[in-house]
Amino acid sequence: MNEEFLPIDDYGIIGNDDRCALIGRNGSIDWCSFPHLESPSVFAAILDTEDGGRFAVQPASEYESNHEYVDRTNVLQTTFETDDGAVTVTDCMPVREGEAPDERFQQAVYRKLEGVSGTVELDVVFEPRFDYARATTAIEIDDDGDVIATERDALGDDETDERDAEPEDEHDRDVERLYLHTDVDFDVDDATATATATIEEDETRWFCLQYGAPDYRSDDEYEKVLQGTIDYWRTWLDTCEESATDLFDFEDEWQDVLVRSALVLKLLIHDETGSIPAAPTASLPEEIGGELNWDYRYNWIRDAKFTIQALHSVGQSDEAHRYFEWFREIGHENPGEIQPLYGLHGEAEIGEETLDNLSGYRDSTPVRIGNAAATQEQLDIYGTIVQGIYETIRYENGLSEYDWESVHALAEYVCDHWDEKDKSIWEFRDLHEHFVHSKLLCWVALDRALRLAEEYDRDAPVDRWEDEREAIRNAIEDRGYDEELGSFVQFFGADEALDATALLIPLYDFLPADDERVQNTIDTLLEELTTEDGLVFRFANSPARPREPGGFLICSFWLVDALVLSDRLDEAEDLFETLVGHTSSIGLLSEMIHAETGEFLGNFPQAFSHIGLINSAIYLASASERSDQLPPEELSSGSDAPLFQRHGS
């Protein structure tokens, strides 16, 4: 099977709690890691069509295909139509509604083949490639016709003993193994198993892939698991809609993308830890053929404020609480040792390496796993943590002494270090400056700490914090705003460098949205950073990179939010509608959209993009409801409290 690279938006995602798989509209699983989302891949054809490995099911003759999710679920269906008939492949990772997660049970992919009309002959290719295709794979057929793939490099001298041994630790298996249960006859050649399956109308066949150990079931049992998985997603979504009716009842034409964004966010949540990766993939490029290819399977502190807001907004306070727990614990570390990102199980030791054996998506190299940004100094993270505590305690029983200890330590650290240079939210590896966004979040850390001290009557060095907060404000206003450009700039002393993070100034209540400098900045960024299709570039004229090829979707949603706070509601709604049009055919969003071609760029699907969509919908819904009740000056006041409090409760 000689496959070309699919467009990124031709992929759908399935998953459960702690793992995901990307499936192309051609029926091929081209990205999947076991036992966890952040584990080494077993299928990576999305990064190398020849050597990465895949599990493909597709017609042997010419076909047309489309895919869609089973309504209100993360169960994906791909329908193939040929001259001889049609067949649907239904893919899911199993989940049991109402039961505690069973790791072994959920480390699986179920593929149901169902004849729709006529007779369709399907080619099946099963070629797992363990450890990002760095290991050698051995495939055998057992006496029952099931396919067993083993990482040969991990076997010792006594292969039989190794294969029969149970791993001691589910998180650190010595021998990687996949079991494919099926009634289709496979042939094996050079570590690839192939088969032909003929499906007639109303006929059903199953492929059940299990990691680690066999968990074979009857066809009836597989059907029950599939239906149980469908019920799980729908039940979860029902709880969202019951808790956040004002969101899901807002603007009927936006319902599908809001539902999909909520389901994507839930799909990415690690059940064991509550953490959320930025994306389930690694090294999908920000520019085709470029070098900006990063591993996003980590939990970034910078995303926390927006993630907490989105989870509360979709009515999932439990998920928001669990997500914040890991974040809350990090806040109690020595502030100087806090990292910008962590592993999904809390790992702090995060290296970075390149995979020279993989060609990269459309020859975009290097292919990276791990992320060296974990060791960067990013001063914005302290404000993010304090802001997260500030917002979260609204839904709890006030400010605990435990949290106040964290806030106090972080505020003190900011006082001592806010005037240093750092790498910024965009994690530039070749630019070290006084970034305006970093200073803004340092101001947020002190401002929210002071608010908490006053509201909860906590002991604090108020004079020191107020003096440093004022010093930060003066620095931002004096050195971060360029009168000639009519905008806040990327960093102090920047000649012409603009940055979309300036849109956050009214969102964090640093200045009211009707402040002339805020309005000038919005207008300048609309002119200089925004395409006709509503895509907002992260930055322009920066010493790091003058211009990127695509708009960064979270920045586009920040523009929507800033326009709402400015009482420019028609502009905000038009922009939001345009951005909704950039979702894939099944409602998914990438990190970036190419400004000219509209193609998806970056890791996919991107949690930050879907979080931005949810939060912008909340801003619009709030403004729409409040505009009939409140005077314009209050609507455009720049305070985030009415919006967040109303929809987070």
Supply the CATH number for residue 251's domain.
1.50.10.10
Is 252 domain-assigned?
yes
230 and 250 together in one domain: no
Question: What CA–CA distance (Å, rounded) separates 517 from 513?
Answer: 9
φ, ψ of residue 604 in degrees (nearest 5):
-150, 140
| pLDDT confidence of residue 626 | 55
Average pLDDT, the chain: 90
Which stretch of 4-18, 280-294, 304-318, 359-373 has the lowest confidence by average pLDDT?
A: 304-318
Q: Is there a single domain that holds both residue 281 and residue 230?
A: no
* Burial of 246: CB neighbours in 10 Å, binned 0-12, 13-18, 19+: middle
In a domain, 3, yes or no: no
pLDDT of residue 97: 67
- Other C-beta atoms closer than 10 Å to the C-beta of 647 total 22
* Distance, CA of 582 to CA of 560 (rounded, Å): 15
- In this structure, the answer to whether residues 25 and 145 fall within a common structural domain is yes
Does 267 lie in the same domain as 122? no
Query: Does 275 fall in a domain?
Result: yes
Indicate if 302 and 227 belong to the same structural domain.
no
Q: Does residue 205 sit within a domain?
A: yes
Lowest mean pLDDT among 64-73, 544-553, 581-590: 544-553
pLDDT-derived band at 98, boundaries 50, 70, 90: low
189 burial via Cβ count (<10 Å: 0-12, 13-18, 19+): exposed
Check which CATH number belongs to the domain holding 35 and give it.
2.70.98
* Residue 382 · residue 418 · CB < 8 Å: no
pLDDT over 60 at 311, yes or no: yes
Report yes or no on 139 lying in a domain: yes
Residue 164 predicted with pLDDT over 50? no
Looking at 235, 265, 300, which one is the last position of a domain?
A: 235
- pLDDT tens sequence across 252-261: 888 899 999 9
- Same-domain status, 257 and 226: no
Asked whether residue 1 is assigned to any structural domain, the reply reads no
Question: Does residue 562 carry a pLDDT above 80?
Answer: yes
Q: Let me know whether 63 and 168 are in one domain.
A: yes
Summarize pLDDT for 53-77 with one digit per residue, the tens.
Answer: 999 999 999 999 999 999 999 999 9
**The pLDDT value given to residue 635:** 37
Q: Total domain count for the chain?
A: 2
% of the chain beyond a pLDDT of 70: 91
Span 422-463, pLDDT tens digits: 999 999 999 999 999 999 999 999 999 999 999 999 999 999
The verdict on 201 and 259 lying in the same domain is no
Q: Is the same domain home to 178 and 311? A: no
Q: Kindly state whether residue 2 falls inside one of the protein's structural domains.
A: no
Query: Within this chain, do residues 214 and 262 fall inside the same structural domain, yes or no?
Result: no
- Range(s) of the domain holding residue 169: 8-235
Does residue 156 form part of some domain?
yes
Contact yes or no for 294/283 (Cβ under 8 A): yes
Domain's final residue, options 209, 235, 261: 235
228 and 264 in a common domain: no
pLDDT digits (tens, 9 = 90+) for 128-155: 999 999 999 999 999 999 999 999 864 4
**Final residue in a domain of this structure, among 184, 216, 235:** 235
Kindly state whether residues 169 and 32 are assigned to the same domain: yes
Mean pLDDT of 556-584: 97
**Does pLDDT of 628 surpass 70?**
no
